[in-house]
Structure formats: C-alpha cells, structure tokens
Amino acid sequence: MTTDKSNLEPLGPETAVELYLDHKSMNCANSTIRNHRYRMNHFLDWCDETELQNLNNLSGRDLQSYRLWLSNKDSLNKLTMRGQLSGLRVFLQWAASVEAVPEDLYTKLMIPRIRHSERSSEQILDAEQAKEILEYLSRYQYASSEHVLLAFLWETGMRIGGAYSVDLDDVNLDNEHVDLVHRPNQDTRLKNGKSGERLIAISSDLSELLGEYIEANRHDITDDAGREPLLTTAYGRMTRTTMRRTINRVTAPCYIGKPCPGCEEGLDRKCPEAVSPHAIRRGSITHYLTEDVPVEVVGDRMDVSRKVLDKHYDKRSREVRLEQRRRFLNDI
C-alpha cells in the first residue's frame, strides 16, 4: 500500500539527512557514515538551489531534475554519479519509512547503467560494500576460501599476483605480518619484481581468520616446487582465474540476497554489479586514504608510487579531500 501524500509528516532536507545518518550510525563505522554524508551533500546543495524545504513535496519529476543537475557537474564521472544516485535511493527508502515521502518514490529515481568498458578503469569496491559482504561471509561462510580471499585482498590491498605468490611460510600469525617474496623461477612473480618485496602488517582479526582457514579449510597441498601455498583449491595453488571468478561471485549483490538485475547463470557469469579483484585494491587504497593514513604509508604498503596512486587508485571525492584537509588544518 502506497503512502498518500496527505498522510506525510513535514520534514526538512537537512533535518532528514541528520536523522538518516543517526539511523545509519547504529550499524555502520564512522568512515561509512562519512561516505553517506558526502553522498548526501550534493542533494542538499540541490535542495538549497531549488528552495525545496519539505521532503513531502519531492516528486518523480524533481528526482529527474536532480539527476540532470548532477549530470551537468563537471567533477562527477558516470560511476561517481551512479554512486550518488544509489545513495539517494537508499535515503529515499528510509525517508518513506518515517513517512516523509511516498513509499514508492525511490522507484522513480532512475539509476544509470554503466557499460563494462566504462566501469573497468573506475570500478571500485567501497568500504560499505566490503563491510557488508565480509559480514555476510563471516556469518554464513566463516573461514571459507571465499571469506579469506576477500578479507585478505581488502585488508592488504595487494594485487592478486601477490596473493597468488603467498606460501604458508610467508605468513607469521604470531607477529601478524605477511612476507611478499618475488620468486620468478618458481612462477610466482611480483609485478615490480624484487622492489615489490615487503612485509605487510595484518590485523589480529585477519590473523585469526587465516589461522582458522589453515586449520579447517585449507587443502593440504604442496606444489611442484615443494612449496605450500596459502590459498588453495582441491587441485593446488588457487589460480588467478579462480580468484577472479570467486570475487565476481561474492561481490554480486545477489550473493548476499540483494536484487541483482542482469545476472546470467553459469560458472563464468559476470554480474553487472560485481567487481574485479583490482577494484578491491582500488577500494582498499581509497579506504586507507579516507581514514587519514598518510599517502607515503599507503604507497609503501600497497607497492604503488605517489604518481600512480594519485592517477589510478585514489578515488576520494573532492568533498572527502576537502574535509580531510579541514580536519588537518583545524589540528594546527
């Protein structure tokens, strides 16, 4: 049953956003709340420009007007615009629950579809999505190969070639670090060769997860070089292809029970909403930067130069960067 406009309770945009963020704060990390706030800032700017003071008056035509307004902003690429509109859609669903807008209003907000060729260079798994998928895996598939692979890639931000190269002996659970080693003669190369070798600190949670995986679910396998890989299948060291397929599968919304239009059945299916392993690396790097980890520390951890990081990996919005600079300057 759709809420009639006569039954709506007046609610201003700014008040609504604050209530929405307060609602989100009960289940989300601070970084996720900041992401929600940044996504809503454009909407509040539009409300100011159009003098919209009561969400009750928001219509499907207004949403189309906002969509066009966003598309005319030079600072937003197609993928960022899609993220902005998706965030607004979630907000509208919440607003309907507090009788600020009609129940079906969110269905009138058209989310642009992005072709795979357009998504590939900008694709990113954001922190909120990563948290949601990892929580699902932790609850229903704890310490499975899927859980470990995503958690490992997300926390370390390493390339799948690096994950492919890791052996059991490279993981120190007591001291909580992973040793990345370039072994070209044994078919486990690092992208940047010897210069890519490094120790990567891991959290206690990831260390515990790896320990559970090794104890219960890792296949006890030795490869042709006499090495024991960390990530395995029943047939040997988990291949890059298997990693990609696994990530495609677990990052599809339907994997955690969400609507997933456009999915195709089959082993090699690629859901339009799923992401690649490199999108996890891009999201991980952006997450560390958003959490105010210094660029130099992120670059050393992820084995990426400042120039490449700025050009290809740092997907913070201009608003996020502004607020981070503001926080930094306020501390001086």
pLDDT (average), residues 135-142: 95
Whether the pLDDT of residue 3 is over 70: the answer is no
pLDDT at residue 259, rounded to an integer: 67
Instruction: Judge whether residue 29 has pLDDT over 70.
Output: no
User: What average pLDDT score do residues 254-271 get?
Assistant: 63
Contacts of 51 (CB under 8 A, 6+ apart): none
Domains and CATH numbers, the chain: 5-112 (1.10.150.130), 127-280 (1.10.443.10)
DSSP string computed for 57-80 = G--HHHHHHHHHHHHT-TT--HHH
The share of the chain scoring above pLDDT 90, in percent, equals 54
Going edge to edge, which strands form the sheet with 171-172? 171-172, 177-180, 198-201
pLDDT in tens, 295-321: 888 888 888 877 777 766 676 667 766
**pLDDT at 136 (0 to 100):** 94
Q: Check if the beta carbon of residue 134 is closer than 8 Å to that of residue 152.
A: no
Would you state the pLDDT for residue 124? 84
Q: What is the pLDDT of residue 229?
A: 97
For range 217-237, the mean pLDDT = 94
What confidence score (pLDDT) does residue 261 get?
A: 57
Whether the per-residue pLDDT at 274 is higher than 80: the answer is yes
pLDDT at 116 over 70: no
CA-CA distance, 296 to 302, in Å (whole number)? 10
Q: Which residues on neighbouring strands pair with residue 172, listed in sequence order?
A: 177
Residues 236 and 145 sit within 8 Å (Cβ to Cβ): no
Looking at residue 121, the DSSP 8-state letter turns out to be: T
**Taking the model in full, what pTM does it have?**
0.62
8 Å CB contact between 147 and 249: no
State residue 1's pLDDT score: 41
| CA–CA gap between residue 268 and residue 271 (Å, rounded) | 10
pLDDT higher than threshold 60 for residue 268 = no
DSSP states of 251-309 as a string? Answer: TSGGGGT---TT---STT---TT---HHHHHHHHHHHHHHTT--HHHHHHHHT--HHHI
At residue 178, φ and ψ (nearest 5 deg) are -120, 135
Note the pLDDT of residue 267: 43
How far is Cα 82 from Cα 69, in angstroms, rounded to an integer? 13
**What average pLDDT does this structure show over 139-154?**
96
Per the prediction, the chain carries an average pLDDT of: 85
- pLDDT per position as a tens digit, 69-111: 988 875 566 767 887 888 899 999 999 999 999 999 999 998 8
